[in-house]
Amino acid sequence: MSLDDLKEKGRRAKSERLVARSGADAKPTLKTVAELTGLAVTTVSRALADAPQIALETRQRVRQVAADIGYLPDRAAQRLRTGRTNVISLVLDPHEEILGYATSMINGLTEALRGTAYHLVITPHFSDTPQIEPVRHIMRNRMADGIVFTRTEPGDERVKLLMENNFPFICHGRTELATAHPYVDYDNYSFAYQAAKKLIAAGASKLSIILPPERFTFAHHLKHGFMTAVREEGVGFEIAKGVTLDSKSDDIRDYVFRRMGEPERPDGYICGGEVSALAVMASAYDHSLELGRDIRLVAKQTSGLFDQIRPRVETIYEDLTEAGFLMGKLLLKRIGGPAPIHELQALQTV
Amino acid sequence: MSLDDLKEKGRRAKSERLVARSGADAKPTLKTVAELTGLAVTTVSRALADAPQIALETRQRVRQVAADIGYLPDRAAQRLRTGRTNVISLVLDPHEEILGYATSMINGLTEALRGTAYHLVITPHFSDTPQIEPVRHIMRNRMADGIVFTRTEPGDERVKLLMENNFPFICHGRTELATAHPYVDYDNYSFAYQAAKKLIAAGASKLSIILPPERFTFAHHLKHGFMTAVREEGVGFEIAKGVTLDSKSDDIRDYVFRRMGEPERPDGYICGGEVSALAVMASAYDHSLELGRDIRLVAKQTSGLFDQIRPRVETIYEDLTEAGFLMGKLLLKRIGGPAPIHELQALQTV
DNA sequence: ATTGCGATTTATAACGATATAATTACGGTC
DNA sequence: GACCGTAATTATATCGTTATAAATCGCAAT
């Protein structure tokens, strides 16, 4: 086909388009583009997919026309035909009400998904059903191309299930399974270790740490880092009993308040979350104990919140937005092709 | 479980999948149910839809078989055929970093959507594109059956667009347009009014309020409530200049701190958000001003955060989770059939 | 027996995309 | 000019569902 022919074809297409404009306000489909270009639907499809068998010239022309009329492929049709959903599911545990936890993750994820065809679907996991249910459901019914979840456990059933079925996923936190799996984690060991060292260096003689529920892997990491530090320093310590970072904040405060009134009370607290840190501060306040003198505190900071808290508290930062972003990117890499797992792991430093 | 065990399990899963191609383990479709019941696909479809033309006995039998084999309709196919997406889009502004704002909304929304066929998709609205873009995109390309958005403006373009096109939506906050539209709002007028009255009753003589950016309707409501109260009481007042609730929290603190060092400083602050309230508290602390004596504060509380803040701060509660829940329910009602708009409006009391 | 009718069920055709197989066009070779 | 191979395009079938139209059945009325 000569250049002139192509130009002619283009002109024809253009005028037809003007005619069609008035006729159909309807949503443009491949058929629309096909009619405008005078090509077959199949050709248009392949042209837009940049298939090498389609002449470069044609590809460009199709691309142009598609852009002109604002053609966007129908997700449902693509999904039905290809089996790909273009959906990433974020399984959220409503217990994670730790202020901006979910928000930060979501912001990071959407940023990672930006410019891709992927949509982010929030799948709640209601407390009256087993943790694994939403994951199984998404996988079995192909509701998404990839799953993101959090609060990973040492022998996490979700990880097992997804690995067995070779289903793309990424989780925040990691298991203790022998098999490697994709994850993004924060170095909670170092967090607790360094927090303890800081407290001790500041003069604390008996440390206390409030841990997450024991079923989560990061509870073990925190505990391990904590124990290593206190043993190295030979300092007194205790682990908060009866409350966890998941407890209602009032319960945490009640516990800490009570403990502060007892003999041999701890004088250094490590808090893995912002709310629990505030609860410790409130307890100290209610006991008229002065922070930084009677009681010391190192908290994990995941938002800008503690910049406004007085008296100033020593914090160590965990970037959850970045974690979300990383998870998104790694998951996309995994979905694109089966990337080697060692490339799908990331440990954020303290 | 050992590495080899996992690998073996993986292999098994893989081969099962291959064998299952046409077997009973394949994802069940209408066709599967049709074959099992000896009925036509059409009949099964209608039976599951509880069409009255299908014999009751048949309906029950189909329902039973479908349940037995765990049949679930394919969303993509349904969407393609019916045009309904079974998706609700929540358009999120990443600027809404007001701690748990988004999380609360999402929790409420998922609770409202629970048990329905609707999925919640998070659509971010990036600051480098016009606010209306994601909404227009969702509407034009039928990416969702309904839209939820927040931070409504007096002449909100999104509301106009969606109303004009009769597209189901609900927003948090309301416009000042002549046309009624669905919304869920909080009574910010009363909030500011009552907050001011509380401060005055407690002895404050010059009030200050930090407002949201002026383009949002609720900024006007807050201002109006505030102004009404201070005029009624004939007390001094000012409106924070140069900072809004959307400002970086450090900037808010810097502003308040500076203002507190100047003559004729306000002695009563009204904060529409938790972070700004903390910034005021931090400023007071940094000036060694005592809260409740030198400076008073009434804050809007949307989480349990302030239960842990000391000294205790007077707050007025806004339930964002409930707002999300309400929005979900009202939107579903609107989607189900065109409910009269007056039934789709809710004003949460202070 | 034939017709008609309501009650059920079924066949067919789409929705919009893509994978696969088939077709056309074109230049070069003998 | 017939033949071939490559490049480019097109036809057909299909994903799983539902809307529409058509068909079947049993039974009563004629």
- Second-level CATH architecture of A82-181+321-348: 3-Layer(aba) Sandwich (3.40)
Q: Nearest nucleotide to A41 by CA–C1' distance? A: D10
Q: How many beta-carbon pairs below 8 A join chains A and B? A: 159
Question: What is the C-alpha to C-alpha distance for residues B170 and B181, in angstroms, rounded to an integer?
Answer: 8
Contact criterion met (CB < 8 Å) for B27 and A110: no
Give percent helix, percent strand, percent coil of chain B, each to the nearest 5: 45, 15, 40
Q: Where in chain B is the domain with CATH 3.40.50.2300?
A: 82-181+321-348, 188-318
Phi, psi for B183 (deg, rounded to 5) = -165, 165
Of B27, B75, B309, the CB nearest to A278: B309
pLDDT digits (tens, 9 = 90+) for A29-50: 999 999 999 999 999 999 999 9
* pLDDT average, residue stretch A273-281: 95
Closest by alpha carbon to A330, among A218, A187, A168? A168
Phi, psi for A176 (deg, rounded to 5) = -115, 20
Whole-number distance in Å between B337 CA and D24 C1':
36
Asked whether the predicted pLDDT for residue A94 surpasses 90, the reply is: no
Q: Are B146 and B182 in contact (CB under 8 A)?
A: no
Question: What is the C-alpha to C-alpha distance for residues B171 and A76, in angstroms, rounded to an integer?
Answer: 26
Q: Are B132 and B123 in contact (CB under 8 A)?
A: no
Closest by alpha carbon to B292, among B266, B261, B262, B314? B314
Give the burial string for B79-98 (b: 16+ CB within 10 Å, else e).
bbeeeebbbbbbbbbbeebb
Cβ of residue B84 lies below 7 Å from strand D: no
Query: Can you tell me which residue has the tokens 């979905």?
Result: A335
Q: Nearest nucleotide to B59 by CA–C1' distance? A: C8
Dihedral angle over CA of B34, B38, B42, B44, nearest 10: -60
Tell me the residue type at B68.
D
pLDDT reported for residue A32: 95
* pLDDT average, residue stretch A9-22: 37
pLDDT reported for residue A343: 87
Asked whether the predicted pLDDT for residue A12 surpasses 80, the reply is: no
- Quick one: pLDDT band at residue A25, thresholds 50, 70, 90? low
Find and list the nucleotides of strand D having atoms within 7 Å of a protein beta carbon: 7-12, 14-21
pLDDT reported for residue B272: 94
Phi, psi for A170 (deg, rounded to 5) = -150, 145
A308 CB neighbours in chain B (<8 A) are: 249, 253, 275, 278-279, 281-282
Strand arrangement, sheet containing A119-124: A345-348, A183-186, A169-172, A146-149, A87-92, A119-124, B119-124, B87-92, B146-149, B169-172, B183-186, B345-348
Asked whether the predicted pLDDT for residue A158 surpasses 80, the reply is: yes
- Which protein residues have a C-beta closer than 7 A to any atom of strand C? A 1, 27, 29-31, 41-42, 45, 48-49, 71-74, 77-78, 80-82; B 38-43, 46, 53-55, 58, 77, 80-81
Superfamily of domain A188-318: Response regulator (3.40.50.2300)
Q: What angle do CA A113, A116, A120 make, to 5 degrees?
A: 45
Whole-number distance in Å between A2 CA and D5 C1':
22
Whole-number distance in Å between B40 CA and C7 C1':
17
Residue count of chain B, please give it.
350
Beta bridge partners of B315: B299
Asked whether the predicted pLDDT for residue A229 surpasses 60, the reply is: yes
Tell me the residue type at B73.
P
pLDDT in tens, chain B (350 residues): 333 333 333 333 333 333 333 444 678 999 999 999 999 999 999 999 999 999 999 999 999 999 999 999 999 999 999 999 999 999 998 776 666 788 999 999 999 999 999 999 999 988 888 999 999 999 999 999 999 999 999 999 999 999 999 999 999 999 999 999 999 999 999 999 999 999 999 999 999 999 999 999 999 999 999 999 999 999 999 999 999 999 999 999 999 999 999 999 999 999 999 999 999 999 999 999 999 999 999 999 998 899 999 999 999 999 999 999 999 999 999 998 888 899 899 999 88
Q: Where in chain A is the domain with CATH 1.10.260?
A: 3-73
Strand arrangement, sheet containing B296-301: B236-239, B206-210, B268-271, B296-301, B314-317
Q: Are B149 and B135 in contact (CB under 8 A)?
A: yes
Cβ of residue B45 lies below 7 Å from strand D: yes
B9 CB neighbours in chain A (<8 A) are: 164
- Secondary structure in 3-state letters for chain A: CCHHHHHHHHHHHHHHHHHHHHHCCCCCCHHHHHHHHCCCHHHHHHHHCCCCCCCHHHHHHHHHHHHHCCCCCCHHHHHHHHCCCCEEEEEECCCCCCCCHHHHHHHHHHHHHCCCCCEEEEEECCCCCCCCHHHHHHHHCCCCCEEEECCCCCCCHHHHHHHHCCCCEEEECCCCCCCCCCEEEECHHHHHHHHHHHHHHCCCCEEEEECCCCCCHHHHHHHHHHHHHHHHHCCEEEECCCCCCCCCHHHHHHHHHHHHHCCCCCCEEEECCHHHHHHHHHHHHHCCCCECCCEEEEEEECCCHHHHCCCCCEEEECCHHHHHHHHHHHHHHHHHCCCCHHHHEEEECC
Pick the residue from chain A with its C-alpha nearest to B303.
A99
Whole-number distance in Å between B65 CA and C8 C1':
20
pLDDT reported for residue A99: 67
pLDDT reported for residue B98: 62
Query: Can you tell me which residue has the tokens 């130009």?
Result: A7
CA pseudo-torsion sign A95, A99, A101, A102? positive
Query: Cα–Cα distances in Å, from A87 out to A116, A129, B117?
Result: 11, 23, 16
Q: Other C-beta atoms within 10 Å of A330: how many? A: 24
Structure tokens at A35: 């009619």
CA A220 to chain CA mean position, Å: 21
For residue B288, is it left (φ>0), alpha (ψ between -120 and 50) or beta? left
Query: Cα–Cα distances in Å, from A134 out to A173, A311, B110, B123?
Result: 18, 43, 13, 21
Whole-number distance in Å between B41 CA and C10 C1':
9
- Quick one: pLDDT band at residue A97, thresholds 50, 70, 90? low
Contact criterion met (CB < 8 Å) for A310 and B106: no
- Quick one: pLDDT band at residue A173, thresholds 50, 70, 90? very high
Contact criterion met (CB < 8 Å) for B14 and A305: no
Q: Does domain B3-73 have CATH number 2.40.50?
A: no
